[in-house]
Amino acid sequence: MIAIIKYNAGNVASVKNALNRLGANCVITDSIEEITKADKVIFPGVGEASSAMKHLIQFKLDDVIKNLKQPLLGICLGQQLMCSFSEEGNTNCLGIFDAKVKKLPANEIIPHMGWNSLKEIKSKLLKGITETDDVYFVHNYYTEINQYTTSICDYILPFTATMEKNNFFAAQFHPEKSADVGDKILINFLNL
């Protein structure tokens, strides 16, 4: 069973639809018991960092997420909330990854929305993905390149596209909206 964490951020339905299309058994839940018993966990998100963190703390999901032992995949805001700090709302986040989230420079077109390729790929999550493959991004904030970075995207500046630490995986882009390439990435996660 795959648990998709339900919290004060959108995008859970599209993740569930993508997993259903791949034949995965999944549930959207904010139940601590269901999340901790799941084989794998997905932490998606579209929204604002400070309100999302307040919700996680209010429902005690912050400690649950940090202490999970099974594979967890954070997507978009989910990735950002797994970092130590976000400039969005000056938010202290979960601190799974010792990395900061910053706002993309406003002198360029933001949000970064559209298809981009990945560089310097070195992740189990991205097995079979090449620098000629494109994935779909929608974001105003980015994670700095850090010791956990496993691929980079270059839009305005180079930033972390994916990260990995022990059982924690994260993607700034949306695999559930990235067509066949995204399906490959989700299958890689399901096969961990």
**Number of Cα atoms under 13 Å in the Cβ half of residue 116:** 22
88, 139, 164, 174: which one is catalytic? 174
Is 120 a residue of the active site? no
Bridge partners, 91 (sequence order): 86
Bridge partners, 100 (sequence order): 85
Is 55 a residue of the active site? no
76, 83, 93, 153: which one is catalytic? 76
48, 88, 164, 176: which one is catalytic? 176
Is the separation of the CB atoms in 78 and 110 below 8 Å? Answer: no
* Order of strands across the sheet that contains 141-143: 91-92, 85-86, 100-103, 141-143
Is 131 a residue of the active site? no
What are the catalytic residues? 76, 174, 176
